[in-house]
Amino acid sequence: MDTRRFGRLYLAGEAELKKLPCLRDLGPEPLDPTFDAAILTAIFAGRRRPLKQVLLDQHLVAGLGNIYTDEALFAAGLDPRRPAASLNPEEAARLHGAIRAVLEQGIANHGTSIRDYVDGSGHQGSNQDHLQVYGRTSQPCPRCGQPLERVRLGGRSTHFCPRCQV
């Protein structure tokens, strides 16, 4: 059992769910077909906080956690410490595609079981076997061989390649 309490379960109709503050105040869901690079660009506009912190803010983008954010930023070749507003449209489009790809990979692999995560049927996922940067501090980058680094951003561990992510 995961005691970190990352979620809640409500049994309600769609109209009632939309009234719950915890759901009403969420940002767009990255796998929703209407979520595109233009929406991501609008979310980043004027935000000076680092990309990693903006992506983890559930009021801005729903459903991205620490692992998938690190993986998406690596896949897009973006430094997690960069101010969110500094992205140009091409970089935002690259990040949009990377976010969707890492989430789809995680789903296909039934989640990331690093400690005690199991799915609703009690099975561990296998996505941890496909992670490129998360939890791989000091190991060689899978692209360039540079040792991966870990820093803290907004109180969260952040894993990245200082050479590949600019």
CATH number at residue 141: 1.10.8.50
Is residue 93 in a domain? yes
* 159 beta partners: 150
Residue range 76-87: mean pLDDT, rounded:
98
- What pLDDT score was predicted for residue 1? 47
pLDDT band for position 20 (cuts 50, 70, 90)? confident
Which amino acid is residue 34, in one-letter code?
Answer: T
Nearest to 64 by CA among 34, 81, 40, 47: 40
Whether pLDDT at 4 is above 70: no
pLDDT at 6 over 90: no
Does residue 77 register a pLDDT over 80?
yes
Q: Is residue 154 part of a domain?
A: yes
Tokens 């360039």 identify what position? 144
Q: Which amino acid is at 133?
A: V
Q: For residue 70, what are the domain limits?
A: 26-160
Q: Would you state the pLDDT for residue 13?
A: 81
Per-residue pLDDT at 3? 58
pTM attached to this predicted model: 0.89
* Residue 38 within any structural domain of the chain: yes
Helix (H, G, I), strand (E, B) or coil at 50: strand
Predicted confidence at residue 159, as pLDDT, reads 98
The overall longest dimension of the chain from CA atoms, in Å, is 51
pLDDT digits (tens, 9 = 90+) for 34-54: 999 999 999 999 999 999 999
pLDDT digits (tens, 9 = 90+) for 98-135: 999 999 999 999 988 887 777 778 889 999 999 999 99
**Residue 20 maps to a domain:** no
For residue 89, tell me if it sits in a domain: yes
Across 19-28, average pLDDT: 84
Summarize the confidence of residues 85-109 as an average pLDDT. Answer: 97
Residue 153 covered by a domain: yes
Residue 9 lies in a domain: no
Given pLDDT bands bounded at 50, 70 and 90, which one contains residue 22? confident
Question: What's residue 24's pLDDT?
Answer: 81
Quick check: is 2 in a domain?
Answer: no
The count of structural domains within the chain is: 1
